[in-house]
């Protein structure tokens, strides 16, 4: 197996201070910066920031925050997780991430996705009935932009381009680009067709159920004659000094967040026994460093992935607990997983 990559993901969930008061959005953004700096110092490979346009999240423009992180870090890769390409302009996405790439000396990467929330569509003037065609057309254009040559392109949802040259160029000549997929076989095949690395969003249930998607990606890449890169996965979790502490810090804030989302999607309120079952056997990686490392190693083995990103915020967990979670992930969990998989 090639060298494994370990990342941390966040949507900039607005946390509480240690007195139980929520931070402002501005303070929450600065908190993400502090967590990224710590992750860089302790050897985490990637920090990925997701785009959301909701009150419980502070990060609506990942690349802006990543640019700030670029000036405070030296080695960690700087990713979105995800950039909602459907409701953005591919030219501007390329330009913004090429700028982050320049500021970070080549550490930027964009993970493109359709988004699990839909607030960005009406916010930026897009019709949700165009959900599929918007992404299909825009990823086609983005793939052309990555060649860093003049582009001629036309579609139905954006003005055409004729011999358009886009700046800035990257120093390497290629902006690192992934596609995030939540479980659609068509999305997996599309990712392989364009020759992009695949990032699987595994946020519930047994991770083993995604094994067919990994195999589909490899088969599709072979048929298209593109490269099947090592697949990545990202899943939520939380690390504390003990299993009990991790569950009790994480659960109350996760419950609020999960039920808020569930109300929008018609889900029943989550019960504690469902949460505990997901922690024990599903895709919530919560516990002590030893527990989280063991479960991560099992998932990596079962799926054969080359990258694991832990979504380390899911609700308003307190600032001090979040910082401790980042510290334990980088200093304890990642080395333990590497040892387990090498043994």
DSSP 8-state code for residue 85: G
Number of domains present in the structure of the chain: 1
- β-strands 46-49, 285-287: how paired? unpaired
Residue carrying structure tokens 């607030």: 119
Helix axes 90-103, 62-70, angle to 10 degrees: 10
pLDDT in tens, 292-309: 999 999 999 999 999 999
Give the domain range for residue 244.
5-342
Model pLDDT, residue 2: 66
Question: Which 3-state string (H, E, C) describes 235-276?
Answer: EEEEECCCHHHHHHHHHHHHHHHHHHHHHHHCCCCCCHHHHH
pLDDT in tens, 202-219: 999 999 999 999 999 999
- Asked if the model's pLDDT at residue 50 lies above 60, the reply is yes
Distance of alpha carbon 77 from alpha carbon 101, whole angstroms = 10
- Asked if the model's pLDDT at residue 78 lies above 90, the reply is yes
- Asked if the model's pLDDT at residue 117 lies above 90, the reply is no
Distance of alpha carbon 43 from alpha carbon 189, whole angstroms = 33
Distance of alpha carbon 84 from alpha carbon 115, whole angstroms = 5
Distance of alpha carbon 3 from alpha carbon 322, whole angstroms = 27
Cβ neighbours of residue 39 under 8 Å, at least 6 residues apart?
Answer: 8, 47, 76, 326, 329, 330
Closest CA to 182 of 52, 82, 281: 82
Cβ pair 23, 31 in contact under 8 A:
yes
- Asked if the model's pLDDT at residue 116 lies above 90, the reply is no
Model pLDDT, residue 15: 98
The residues facing 237 across adjacent strands are 285
Distance of alpha carbon 217 from alpha carbon 190, whole angstroms = 9
- β-strands 77-80, 83-84: how paired? unpaired
CATH number at residue 314: 3.20.20.30
Distance of alpha carbon 60 from alpha carbon 53, whole angstroms = 6
Cβ neighbours of residue 168 under 8 Å, at least 6 residues apart?
Answer: 95, 98, 99, 102
The residues facing 128 across adjacent strands are none
pLDDT band at 139 (very low <50, low <70, confident <90, very high): very high
Mean pLDDT over 76-89 rounds to 97
Task: State the number of CA atoms in the 13 A half-sphere of 42 facing the CB.
Answer: 23
The residues facing 108 across adjacent strands are 78
Q: In the structure encoding, which two tokens stand for residue 216, read together?
A: 């589909």
pLDDT band at 291 (very low <50, low <70, confident <90, very high): very high
DSSP 8-state code for residue 307: E
Q: In the structure encoding, which two tokens stand for residue 208, read together?
A: 């083993």
Mean pLDDT over 98-118 rounds to 95
Mean pLDDT over 144-162 rounds to 97
pLDDT in tens, 299-341: 999 999 999 999 999 999 999 999 999 999 999 999 999 999 9
Model pLDDT, residue 319: 98
Model pLDDT, residue 1: 47
Cβ neighbours of residue 311 under 8 Å, at least 6 residues apart?
Answer: 9, 10, 11, 203, 234, 235, 236, 237
Average pLDDT, the chain: 97
Cβ neighbours of residue 324 under 8 Å, at least 6 residues apart?
Answer: 239, 240, 241
- Asked if the model's pLDDT at residue 343 lies above 80, the reply is no
Model pLDDT, residue 177: 98
């Amino acid at each position: 197996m090639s060298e494994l990559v370990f990342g941390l993901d966040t949507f900039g969930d607005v946390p509480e201070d240690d007195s139980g008061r929520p931070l402002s959005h501005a303070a929450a953004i600065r908190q993400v910066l502090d967590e990224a700096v710590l992750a860089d110092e302790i050897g985490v490979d990637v920090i990925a920031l997701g785009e959301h346009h909701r009150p419980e999240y502070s990060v609506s423009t990942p690349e802006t925050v990543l640019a700030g992180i670029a000036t405070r870090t030296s080695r960690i890769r700087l990713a979105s997780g995800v950039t909602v390409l459907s409701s953005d302009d591919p030219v501007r996405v390329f330009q913004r991430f090429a700028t982050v790439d320049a500021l970070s000396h080549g550490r930027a990467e964009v993970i493109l996705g359709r988004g699990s929330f839909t607030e960005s569509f009406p916010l930026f003037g897009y019709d949700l009935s165009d959900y599929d065609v918007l992404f299909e057309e825009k990823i086609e254009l983005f793939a052309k932009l990555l060649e860093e040559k003049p582009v001629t392109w036309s579609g139905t949802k954006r003005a055409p381009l004729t011999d358009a040259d886009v700046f800035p160029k990257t120093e390497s000549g290629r902006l690192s680009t992934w596609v995030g997929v939540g479980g659609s076989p068509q999305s997996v095949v599309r990712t392989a067709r364009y020759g992009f690395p695949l990032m699987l969003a595994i946020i519930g249930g047994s991770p083993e159920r995604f094994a067919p998607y990994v195999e589909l990606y490899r088969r599709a890449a072979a048929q298209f004659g593109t490269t099947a890169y090592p697949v990545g996965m990202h899943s939520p979790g939380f690390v504390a000094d003990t299993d009990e502490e991790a569950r009790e810090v994480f659960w109350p804030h996760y419950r609020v967040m999960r039920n808020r989302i569930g109300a929008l999607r018609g889900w029943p309120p989550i019960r504690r026994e469902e949460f505990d079952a997901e922690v024990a056997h599903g895709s919530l990686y919560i516990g002590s460093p030893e527990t989280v490392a063991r479960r991560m190693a099992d998932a990596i083995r079962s799926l054969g992935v080359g990258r694991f990103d832990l979504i380390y915020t899911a609700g308003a967990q307190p600032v001090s607990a979040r910082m401790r979670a980042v510290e334990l992930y980088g200093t304890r969990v990642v080395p333990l997983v590497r040892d387990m998989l090498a043994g």
